[in-house]
Chain A
Amino acid sequence: MKQENSTILEHRLFHGDYRLLKFSAPSIGPHVQPGQFVHLKIPRFEHAVLRRPFSIFKADTESVSILYKAVGRGTAALATVVEGEPVSLIGPLGTGFPMAGNGKIPLLVAGGYGNAALYLQAAKLPVKGVAFFGGRTADDILCVDEFKALGWDVHIATDDGSLGQKGFVTAALDAWLEEQEAGIRGHGSGENCFQGSEKNSKPQRSCLELFACGPNAMLKAVGDRAIQNGLTAWLSMDRNMACGVGACLTCVIKRKTADGWEWARCCKDGPVFNAEEIIWED
């Protein structure tokens, strides 16, 4: 974890209303693990006392990049920053995604620009599985070519049907799982995975491992499916944060313990949690 006086290297429209921001970050970039985030002090937004956390989309030895959309006062202010402008970053922060278990076929599930948090994981995972991207419209489906270029089989669902299958991304995931079990269609290694189970017995879904980032309702739906099917799912949780480093205890969620529950910090213990650990509220 380092605080870096960074410079904006690139700021441009990326897709639809989504923008890409690239920062110089030689002390942060080389240490980034998939699923981690940077905590950013938005320039010229002086009446705001808090930084804003952003999932790291890409990182290299000299820089980190994020994807964002103007959804509130902070991100609206962020949209006005220009290349060359100084900006303070803290990162890389949080506990990101683990590698998939041995012999597991990874599935990625993302809502909207949640897939920004999955890109480094997609690049790092040695086995390329299937990615499911959902969004309201085609404008909310990002990075398809980039994930395909990494070797992932990308499935798309939109609420309005303007791209891919119409409906929620979890419906696309369900449909794929059913097809796999029915043996209608196989994805390379996924097919082997299912075929490996005893003939005439129920196909083994336990060879799959899920990695997800997106809105809460989607994460909960993915987590519920995983638990019902005996799969491991790693969910990147998004909560409002203040300090970002584990000190203030703002961004806590309830995590199961042997004898009940405890507060776990999304900024430090997460943002990535095993779905089995999470106690959902609201």
Chain B
Amino acid sequence: MAMSMEPFNRLVRLVARAFYDDITMKGENQPKNGRSDNRGMAVVVLDALTRRQWVREEDLAKSLKLHSKQLRRTLRFFEEEKLVTRDHRKETAKGAKIFSAAVAAATADGKKNPREGEEKVKLHTHSYCCLDYAQIYDVVRYRIHKMKKKLKDELDSRNTIQEYICPACKRRYSALDVLQLISPTGEHFVCERCNNELIAESDKLASQEMGDGDENARRRHREYLKEMLQKIEIQLKPLIQQINRVKDLPVPEFGSLQAWEARANAAGLLNGDPGGNDPNRANQGQGYGGTPMPYLGETKVEVALSGAEVKGEEDNGADIGSPMKQLPPWMIQEGMNLTEEQRRGRGEVKSDTKIVSSSTSTYDIDEKKPNDVKEEDKSIQDEYIKAYYAAMVKRQEELKMHQKTQNELLGGDVSNVQETHPGRQVGMKAKREDDDVEWQEAAIPAVANGAPKVNDLNITASESENEDDDGVDWEEG
């Protein structure tokens, strides 16, 4: 279901307004008065359906504040028009719940409504309906094609039966009579009465032999047809454009009611929505509390991608189970914060490490570092840390050796120590950059101290060790 609904929904809305604007859904024996004029209702129903997937007709009626009979009539009409698929099934209250759960899951609508319906044991026939986008696309194209073809045929006077006329006695013959009228030579048709050669009627028009009002009416009719054809072109232009736009897109497919229900429920569970099948929660009543719109789960994801990446990061941990789409490589731009799932299947992770190094080089503290990059970095950091420890231990030993030797050599030579100090500083700095540990400050004072004592060095080293440990703890926690 990785497809965008919006172009198709737009198509449906355009179709509704183009073709079903002034359809009245009226019973044959209903009194005709102002109140029963429900033109435009078809449009409302179709619009409402574009915002839903499978929906129980009662619920739809409630949310549209329509009488369910009226709605059913409209939907039956649309079913005949092949815009809507419907499904009827006998079900107990429990069956209805499963559907409600599916709707709730699809809506990702967290609020619970305690108004639990009374337990019904009786079987009720429930009707469900859903837009059939693939069929709508075909039906609309066919409809437009038929409209144009009909007008064009009439304009070209195709499928009209040719008439022939005798120039002498004005007797008219239709093409259906011609079998008896063929001249002995077979060249042309002759009048039964006066044996004159017949002329086809359109020829007569060409030879300017006009005059009677019939001819004028014919021409007016032709002009009318032409006008109609032009109007079709103009007025349906947005619709045709939308059809062309939709042409290459994958059609949203909800499948049958059962399949959809199962899928929606599964998605609901994935969403970390344990109440999905909870009977208390089910039947939470589409109509009772608000009108939950079963938006597609995908829509939500798209929003998260397009705009609030940074904001989305904080939630990232929370809805880790939500169905994340794997982004195609061309959609991934540098600087995008990607989740593990989104990035999967991508060969390289270089851009992400770049982010890390840039953020750390600006003395960013770990807490602000995006969560998503830590997976990759962890291994790298661990390696660095290990190497760092090794270097640290080695250095300390060296220093101790120095100390000893210095003490032994009457300890006065400070410059010797100073020489070792910058070397150590550089090595540490290089490591530090990748460690994301905030101990630049700790090191700087050491430099600023000028000629440090050996003890100082040890202190800073131990400090850094502590901080390092912190960093590791944080990473793993």
Q: Do A and B come from one complex?
A: no
Residues in chain A within 8 A of chain B (CB atoms): none
Residues in chain B within 8 A of chain A (CB atoms): none
